């Protein structure tokens, strides 16, 4: 046998030998074995300490409206303008007093005349005192003198009151500031006639104090309290440190919003009618919450991956609320006690099986305040 035939025979024998040694079939991998290991957290009520914002308008803390107390007189001089600070009792407008001066003199003369007539009538009544029943004068004549004295005194009192009223109106020709503060608006010009109307001549912010009037939802309103500090950002980009002065005790039945007032420092750049946004770094609230990493955002909105009892995940759409310290509240979403995947970036699809393990939840920390 040649060398070539011998090699061929050996190769055939080796091939048949290998074919006779059957291999074991590969074991198929189960779903449980393919399951991804993930950390999960429960949806539970948690305390959120973090940033809360509230927007609103700048408005005077207390506003005083100035109107003339007497009508029918010309404006002689306007002594102040918008933007000026005034003190209580300071004259803002001087009315022309030519007409009232003549009326005061006339009424004073009438009051003096009536007083003399009353004295004369009272003297005549005094002279017939004790003459009742003596026949000197008839009873009718006695009564008439007494009645005339009483009527004359009443007329004198009326004229005296009219005289006092005229002097009082003369004193009101100087329209004064009821409070000290900043003049916000002026609506009067020299030559105008004072008349009763709804539009005030001046609007004054008492003490020049302007504060932020903001609105919050009922849930967020519970997170602020009087005395709490807030940083208010103005429309100009500047900020001012404020303090919550008042939290509304009620919520609007239609809008479901409540108001709060934030006291601000007296500054020239804080103007009534402007816009402000308050930032609360230490607002505290408690609601159903999960770590921010558990919420996934895509074209369909925010969602979490809920792990069911069979360890399969399901995507659940959520509506998020206030957030802080690594937590975000869930306004709408899975019920309390549900397990959600801690890392929302995990490549998971609905129906995937996972191997869950409890993960740590970030503890809320109070924001450091600058002093």
pLDDT digits (tens, 9 = 90+) for 283-333: 666 778 899 889 998 888 899 999 999 999 999 999 987 777 788 889 899
Distance CA 310, CA 356 (A): 11
Q: Which two tokens stand for residue 23?
A: 């291999």
- pLDDT over 90 at 273, yes or no: yes
> 329, 321 in Cβ contact below 8 A?
yes
Distance CA 72, CA 336 (A): 72
CA angle 72-75-80, nearest 5°?
A: 140
Q: Which two tokens stand for residue 12?
A: 């055939």
- What is the mean predicted confidence (pLDDT) over 175-202? 91
Q: How confident is the model at residue 145 (pLDDT cuts 50, 70, 90)?
A: confident
Q: How confident is the model at residue 245 (pLDDT cuts 50, 70, 90)?
A: very high
- pLDDT over 60 at 359, yes or no: yes
- pLDDT over 80 at 115, yes or no: yes
| Alpha-carbon dihedral sign for residues 135, 141, 144, 145 | negative
Q: Nearest Cα to 261, choosing from 208, 224, 234?
A: 224
Provide the β-strand partners of residue 176: 91
- pLDDT over 60 at 251, yes or no: yes
| Alpha-carbon dihedral sign for residues 335, 339, 340, 343 | positive
- What is the mean predicted confidence (pLDDT) over 186-215? 91
pTM recorded for the entire structure:
0.60
Q: Are strands 239-247 and 229-234 parallel, antiparallel or unpaired?
A: antiparallel
Mean pLDDT of the chain: 83
Which range (121-125, 310-314, 343-347) has the least confidence?
343-347
- What is the mean predicted confidence (pLDDT) over 162-187? 91
More confident residue, 262 or 6: 262
Q: How many CB atoms lie within 10 A of CB 275?
A: 13
DSSP collapsed to 3 states, the chain? CCHHHHHHHHHHHHHHHHHHCCCCCCCCCCHHHHCEEEEEEECEEEEEEEEEEEEEEEEECCEEEECCCCCCCEEEEECCCCCCEECCCCEEEEECCHHHHHHHHHHHHHHHHHHHHHHHHHHHHHHCCCCCCCCCCCHHHHHHHHHHHHHHHHHHHHHHHHHHHHHHHHHCCEEECCCCEEEEEECCCCCCECCCCCCCCEEEEECCCEEEEEEEEHHHHCCCCCCCEEEEEECCCCEEEEEEEEECCCCCCCCCEEEEEEECCCCCCCCCCCEEEEEEEEEEEEEEEEEHHHCEEECCEEEEEEECCCCEEEEEECEEEEEECCEEEEEECCCCCCEEECCCCCCCCCCCEEEEEECCCCCCCCCCCCC
Q: In the block, which residue shows the tokens 């020299």? A: 190
Q: How confident is the model at residue 369 (pLDDT cuts 50, 70, 90)?
A: very low
- pLDDT over 70 at 52, yes or no: yes
Task: Output the CA torsion 315→318→322→324 (10° steps).
Answer: 0
Highest mean pLDDT among 54-63, 130-139, 326-335: 54-63
- pLDDT over 50 at 152, yes or no: yes
Distance CA 40, CA 290 (A): 10
- What is the mean predicted confidence (pLDDT) over 174-195? 93
Q: Nearest Cα to 209, choosing from 309, 314, 85?
A: 85
- What is the mean predicted confidence (pLDDT) over 153-178? 89
Distance CA 280, CA 118 (A): 74
pLDDT value of position 8: 47
Q: In the block, which residue shows the tokens 């009718």? A: 140
């Amino acid at each position: 046998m040649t060398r070539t035939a011998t090699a061929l025979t050996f190769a055939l024998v080796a091939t048949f030998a290998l074919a006779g040694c059957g291999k074991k079939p590969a074991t198929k991998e189960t779903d449980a074995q393919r399951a991804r290991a993930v950390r999960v957290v429960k949806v539970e009520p948690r305390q959120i300490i973090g940033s809360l914002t509230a927007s609103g308008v700048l408005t005077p803390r207390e506003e005083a409206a100035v109107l003339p107390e007497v009508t029918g007189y010309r404006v002689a001089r306007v002594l102040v303008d918008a933007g000026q600070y005034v003190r209580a009792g300071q004259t803002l407008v001087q009315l022309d007093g030519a007409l009232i001066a003549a009326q005061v003199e006339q009424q004073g003369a009438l009051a003096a005349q009536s007083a003399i007539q009353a004295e004369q009538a009272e003297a005549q009544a005094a002279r017939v005192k004790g003459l009742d029943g003596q026949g000197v004068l008839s009873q009718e004549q006695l009564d008439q003198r007494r009645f005339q004295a009483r009527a004359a005194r009443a007329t004198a009192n009326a004229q005296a009151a009219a005289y006092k009223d005229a002097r009082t109106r003369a004193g009101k020709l100087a329209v004064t500031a009821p409070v000290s503060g900043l003049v916000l608006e002026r609506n009067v010009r020299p030559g105008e006639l004072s008349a009763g109307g709804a539009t005030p001549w001046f609007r004054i912010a008492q003490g020049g104090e302007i504060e932020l009037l903001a609105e919050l939802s009922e849930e967020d309103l519970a997170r602020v309290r009087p005395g709490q500090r807030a940083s208010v950002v103005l429309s100009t980009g500047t900020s001012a440190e404020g303090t919550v002065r008042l939290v509304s005790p009620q919520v609007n039945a239609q809008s479901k919003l409540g108001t709060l007032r934030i006291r601000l420092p007296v500054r020239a750049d804080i103007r009534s009618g402007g816009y402000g946004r308050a930032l609360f770094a230490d607002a505290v609230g408690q609601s159903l919450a999960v770590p921010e990493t558990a919420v996934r955002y895509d074209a369909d909105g925010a969602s979490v991956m809920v792990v069911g009892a069979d360890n399969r995940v399901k995507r659940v759409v959520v509506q998020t609320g206030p957030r802080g310290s690594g937590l975000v509240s869930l306004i709408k979403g899975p019920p309390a006690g549900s397990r959600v995947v801690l890392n929302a970036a995990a490549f998971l699809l609905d129906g995937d099986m996972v191997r869950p393990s409890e993960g740590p939840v970030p503890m809320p920390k109070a924001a450091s305040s600058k002093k």
